[in-house]
Amino acid sequence: MSQETLSNLLQENRRFAPPAELAASANVTAQAYQEAERDRLAFWERQAERLSWAKRWDQVLDWSNPPFAKWFVGGQLNVAYNCVDRHVEAGLGDRVAYHWEGEPGDTRTLTYADLQREVAKAANALLELGVRKGDRVAIYLPMIPELPITMLACARIGATHSVVFAGFSSDALRTRIDDAQAKVVVTADGQNRRGKQSPLKATVDEAVQHTPSVERVVVVRRTGQDIAWHDRDIWWHDLVDRQSDQHTAEPHDAEHPLFILYTSGTTGKPKGILHTTGGYLTQVAYTHWAVFDLKPETDVYWCSADIGWVTGHSYIVYGPLANAATSVIYEGTPDTPHRGRWWEIIQKYKVTIFYTAPTAIRTFMKWGEDIPARFDLSSLRVIGSVGEPINPEAYVWYRHHIGADRCPVVDTWWQTETGAIMISPLPGVTEGKPGAAMRPLPGIVADVVDDEGKPVPNGGGGFLVVKEPWPSMLRTIWGDDDRYVKTYWSRFDGLYFAGDGAKKDDDGDLWLLGRVDDVMLVSGHNISTTEVESALVSHPKVAEAAVTGATDPVTGQAIVAFVIPRGEAGEEVDGEEFVAELRDHVAKTLGPIAKPRQIMVVPELPKTRSGKIMRRLLRDVAENRSLGDVTTLTDSSVMDLIAAKLPTAK
Ligand code: WT7
C-alpha cells in the first residue's frame, strides 16, 4: 500500500470528548503516556506489580534472541491463584465473579469463593486423570461455567490449554488436538443454540478416532441429549463432584506456556499461537483496568464474545478475574428467544461496561433501533468494540442508541497474536473519533510504515507494525519457530508485521483499514475495502456492506460491493435505482475512483464464526469462480442465498 490512499476518513470530523465525570475519576490519565515513554520497561514492571508473584523476576525483558522474547525472567506465579484465590484471601470471597445466563433462561451465580472451590476440584480431577504440568488439554465446550473453570484448573496445575470454539467441525477439532498432542479433551454432551440443541460429544467422538494422543474425554452434561459412550469417556459430575475442594497452587515460571489458541489464517494449516504466563497476565490485567476504566467494586462488566476466541480468553476469563471484576457470561445467541435478549441482559444485571464486535452492532442496526429502545440501558458507562474496523456510522449508532450519547466508545485494536489490547482510546483521556482506534496504549510502540519499513508522515497510509516487544506478545507458533519468524518478523527488519493496513491522520491518530490482503488496486490507486464499506454504510438505507476487488480488464481490479439494506427498507430498495443511488453516494463520499463497478443487494453476508466477513468468497463470486474453502463459514447456505441473487454477476 502506498501513501495515496483515499482521504475520506480524514474528513470525519465528529469528535467526542470524554465525559467530565468519568475523566475526573478515571483510572488512567494522560500522564501514563509520558511515564511509559520515559521508561517503558519500568512502566511494565509497575503493571506486573498488580499481580501476586511467588518469586519476583530478575530481569524485565530478555530480548537477546529476537524475535523470541522472555518477560519477567526468573519470576514465578500461578495464574489461577492470581485470578481467584488471592481475591478470596483478600476478603472478596462473596463478590460475584460470574453472573451466568443460559440461553433457555437458567442461571448460575459464582462468587470468587465458589470459583475457588470449583477450580480446585477440577484441578484435582485433571491430576487424577494423569494430566501433569506441561501436558496439553483440549477444551471443546459451550459458554458454560465449566469452560472458565477448566481453563483455570489447567493454569493451576501448569497444563497448557487449547480451547477450540464449539462451533468448529470435527475436522477442525482433530487437526487442533493433533497439532498440540492433547492428552485429555473436555467437552459437553451438546449445546443450546438458537433454541435448539446441537451435539458436541458426537463431534469429539469423530475427531478422536484419529488422535492417538487423547487418553480421556471428560463430558459435562448440559443438554441431556443422547450420546454414544466409550471406555475413554467420563462424566464431569462423576469425576469432579467427588474431588476435594482443596488444592495448593504451585507457582510456575513466568514463561511457562499458559495456552495455545489456533488462528485459521487464509492459507495453510492453522497457527497455534502460544501465550505464556507472567507477561500475558500482566498486560490483560492492565489493559482491562485501563481501557474500560474498571472499578471492580461497582462495575458489572459484560463481554459478549465467545471464550473460544482470544477476546474471551483475555477479556472474559483472565483480565476480568485478575482484576477481581464481576462479569456476565451469556451462553446463547442475541436473537433467542427474541431480538432484544442482549439488552434485556444489560437491564437485568445492570451492566456498566459492555464490549462487543462491529458485526453485532451492524446486525442490531439492521434489526432497528426500536428494539434496544425498549430496555433500560442507563447503567452503561463505557462501551467497547473489537474484531474489525468499526465503520463510523456503526460507531455513531452504537454511541447513540446503546450508549445514549453518554458512554465513550473504545475501539480496541489487537489480535490473537498480541494477546491483549494494543491500540485504543482511553475513556477518560481520549477525544474519540468515530472509526479510529486512535493511539497505542501506554507501554506499546506501534507505527504505520511504507513498503520499505519507513514511518509514514501524518496523513499517510501503509502497514501497521509494532516496534518494541510487549508483555503479552505471542512467543512462537506452537512447534514451528520458523513459521513464527517468517509470518511476523520477516516482512520488515526488526518490526512485528501485523498484516493490517492503517493510516495516520493529520493529528497522528491511527485508523485501521483491514487486512492488507483486503486492499484493492484500482487504476493504480490503493483503495481499502473498509473505506468503501464505510461509505456504503453511511447511506441511511444500508445496514451492512462487504466490498471486494474483482479482476477487471480496464482498471486492473474493479470494486464489487454486496449490501444488506437496513431494517424495513429491505423490500422497496432492491432495484436499479437504489444501486445507482448507492454508486453515486460512494462517488460523492470518496471520489469517483471509488465508485463500485457493481453493487449487489443481498440478504446475508458470508462470515467466519468469529464474525469477520469472508471477502475471499465474495471475490470468487465476483470473478465467477467456484467457491474456495467454506468450512469456516458460520452458515454455508448464505452463499446459496447470494448466488441466487446474482444473475448479473459477470
Ligand atoms: C484481526 C485480528 C482481537 C480480538 C478479536 C480478533 C482485526 C481486530 C480491530 C479493530 C480494526 C481490528 C484486525 C486484526 N481487528 N480489532 N478495533 N479495528 N481491525 O482477533 O481473530 O486474531 O483477528 O482483527 O484485522 O489483525 P483475531
**What residue type is assigned to position 115 of the chain?**
L
Query: What is the Rg, in whole angstroms, of the alpha carbon atoms belonging to the chain?
Result: 24
For helices 637-644 and 615-622, what crossing angle results, to 10°?
30
Q: Which residue matches cell numbers 432492491?
A: 574
Residue 175 near ligand 1, beta carbon < 6 Å: no
Which pLDDT value is given to residue 644?
73
pLDDT at 603 over 80: yes
Q: Provide the whole-model pTM.
A: 0.89
CA of 172 to the centre of ligand 1 (A): 21
Residue 386 near ligand 1, beta carbon < 6 Å: yes
* Ligand 1 closest atom vs CA 310: 4
Residue 314 near ligand 1, beta carbon < 6 Å: no
CA of 627 to the centre of ligand 1 (A): 25
CB 573 within 8 A of CB 598: no
Q: Which burial class, exposed, middle or buried, applies to 435 when counting CB atoms under 10 A from its CB (0-12, 13-18, 19+)?
A: buried
268: left (phi over 0), alpha (psi -120 to 50) or beta: left
Q: Is 246 annotated as a binding residue?
A: no
Q: Is 311 annotated as a binding residue?
A: yes
Alpha helix positions (H), 182-318: 201-208, 236-240, 278-291, 310-312
pLDDT at 571 over 80: no
Distance of alpha carbon 298 from alpha carbon 382, whole angstroms: 13
Higher model confidence: residue 411 or residue 570? Answer: 411
170: left (phi over 0), alpha (psi -120 to 50) or beta: alpha
Which pLDDT value is given to residue 648?
46
Which pLDDT value is given to residue 1?
39
CB 354 within 8 A of CB 384: yes
Tabulate helix, strand, coil % of the chain (nearest 5). Answer: 35, 25, 40
Residue 526 near ligand 1, beta carbon < 6 Å: no
Residues ≥6 apart with Cβ < 8 Å to 369? 397, 401
- Give me the phi and psi of 174, to 5 degrees please: -60, -50
Q: Is 193 annotated as a binding residue?
A: yes
Residue 464 near ligand 1, beta carbon < 6 Å: no
Distance of alpha carbon 432 from alpha carbon 430, whole angstroms: 6
Residue 355 near ligand 1, beta carbon < 6 Å: no
Task: Give the DSSP letter of residue 517.
Answer: G
Alpha helix positions (H), 68-128: 79-80, 86-87, 112-128
Higher model confidence: residue 397 or residue 9? Answer: 397
Distance of alpha carbon 445 from alpha carbon 454, whole angstroms: 15
Distance of alpha carbon 543 from alpha carbon 537, whole angstroms: 6
**Long-range CB pairs of 295-298, under 8 A, 24+ apart, other chains included:** 295/27, 296/95, 296/323, 296/324, 296/325, 296/326, 298/352
CA of 414 to the centre of ligand 1 (A): 5
Q: Whose CA is nearest to atom 7 of ligand 1?
A: 388
Average pLDDT over residues 547-557: 88
Beta bridge partners of 85: none
Q: Please report the DSSP string for 31-69 in residue order.
A: HHHHHHHH-HHHHHHHHHTTS--SB--SEEEEEEETTEE
For helices 529-537 and 576-590, what crossing angle results, to 10°?
120
* Ligand 1 closest atom vs CA 498: 26
- What the block records as the C-alpha cell of 270 is 492453522
Average pLDDT over residues 298-320: 98
Which pLDDT value is given to residue 293?
98
Within 10 A of 622 (CB to CB), how many other CB atoms are there? 26
Which pLDDT value is given to residue 12?
81
- Give me the phi and psi of 401, to 5 degrees please: -85, -25
Distance of alpha carbon 188 from alpha carbon 106, whole angstroms: 17
pLDDT at 2 over 60: no
Sheet strands (E) in 556-648: 556-565, 598-601
Which pLDDT value is given to residue 643?
75
Residue 263 near ligand 1, beta carbon < 6 Å: yes
Higher model confidence: residue 366 or residue 112? Answer: 112
pLDDT at 570 over 70: no
Distance of alpha carbon 329 from alpha carbon 149, whole angstroms: 13
- What the block records as the C-alpha cell of 446 is 506501534
Residues ≥6 apart with Cβ < 8 Å to 117? 245
Range with the poorest average pLDDT among 2-6, 264-268, 361-365, 489-493: 2-6
Which pLDDT value is given to residue 649?
39
Distance of alpha carbon 536 from alpha carbon 576, whole angstroms: 16
Q: 427-453, pLDDT tens digit by residue?
A: 999 999 999 999 999 999 999 999 999
Q: Is 500 annotated as a binding residue?
A: yes
CA of 24 to the centre of ligand 1 (A): 31
Beta bridge partners of 448: 464
CA of 514 to the centre of ligand 1 (A): 8
Q: 39-62, pLDDT tens digit by residue?
A: 999 999 999 999 999 999 999 999
Per-residue CA distances from 493 to 39, 67, 265, 290 (Å): 24, 11, 22, 31
CB 346 within 8 A of CB 354: yes
- Strand-strand pairing, 96-101 and 326-330: parallel
Q: Whose CA is nearest to atom 10 of ligand 1?
A: 413
Average pLDDT over residues 442-471: 97
Distance of alpha carbon 589 from alpha carbon 535, whole angstroms: 6
**Maximum average pLDDT range among 412-421, 534-543, 579-588:** 412-421
pLDDT at 9 over 60: no
Query: By percentage, how much of the chain surpasses pLDDT 70?
Result: 95
Q: How far is CA 240 from the centre of its chain?
A: 30
- Give me the phi and psi of 464, to 5 degrees please: -80, 130
Q: 83-140, pLDDT tens digit by residue?
A: 999 999 999 999 999 999 999 999 999 999 999 999 999 999 999 999 999 999 999 9
Alpha helix positions (H), 504-593: 529-537, 576-590
Question: For a substitution probing ligand 1, which of 500, 516, 519, 607 has the most ligand atoms within 8 Å of its CB?
Answer: 500
- What the block records as the C-alpha cell of 469 is 516487544
Distance of alpha carbon 150 from alpha carbon 123, whole angstroms: 8
Residue 332 near ligand 1, beta carbon < 6 Å: no
Domain extents for the chain?
20-488, 514-644
Q: Is 328 annotated as a binding residue?
A: no
Q: Which superfamily does 514-644 belong to?
A: ANL, C-terminal domain (3.30.300.30)
Residue 415 near ligand 1, beta carbon < 6 Å: yes
Q: 370-384, pLDDT tens digit by residue?
A: 999 999 999 999 999
CA of 410 to the centre of ligand 1 (A): 14
ipTM higher than 0.90? yes
Which pLDDT value is given to residue 490?
96
Q: Which superfamily does 20-488 belong to?
A: ANL, N-terminal domain (3.40.50.12780)
Distance of alpha carbon 3 from alpha carbon 600, whole angstroms: 30
Beta bridge partners of 110: 98
Q: 172-222, pLDDT tens digit by residue?
A: 899 999 999 999 999 999 999 999 999 999 999 999 999 999 999 999 999
Residue 236 near ligand 1, beta carbon < 6 Å: no
Distance of alpha carbon 310 from alpha carbon 355, whole angstroms: 13
Average pLDDT over residues 627-638: 73
Q: How far is CA 133 from the centre of its chain?
A: 28
Within 10 A of 180 (CB to CB), how many other CB atoms are there? 25
Distance of alpha carbon 219 from alpha carbon 186, whole angstroms: 6
494: left (phi over 0), alpha (psi -120 to 50) or beta: left
- What the block records as the C-alpha cell of 254 is 513466568
Query: By percentage, how much of the chain surpasses pLDDT 90?
Result: 82
Q: Tell me if residue 504 falls in helix, strand or coil.
A: strand
Decide whether 20-488 matches 514-644 in CATH topology: no
CB 448 within 8 A of CB 492: no
Length of the chain: 650
Q: How far is CA 595 from the centre of its chain?
A: 31
Residues ≥6 apart with Cβ < 8 Å to 470? 279, 283, 418, 420, 422, 443, 444
Residue 387 near ligand 1, beta carbon < 6 Å: yes
User: If pLDDT is split at 50, 70 and 90, which confidence band does 592 have?
Assistant: confident
Q: How far is CA 445 from the centre of its chain?
A: 21
Residue 437 near ligand 1, beta carbon < 6 Å: yes
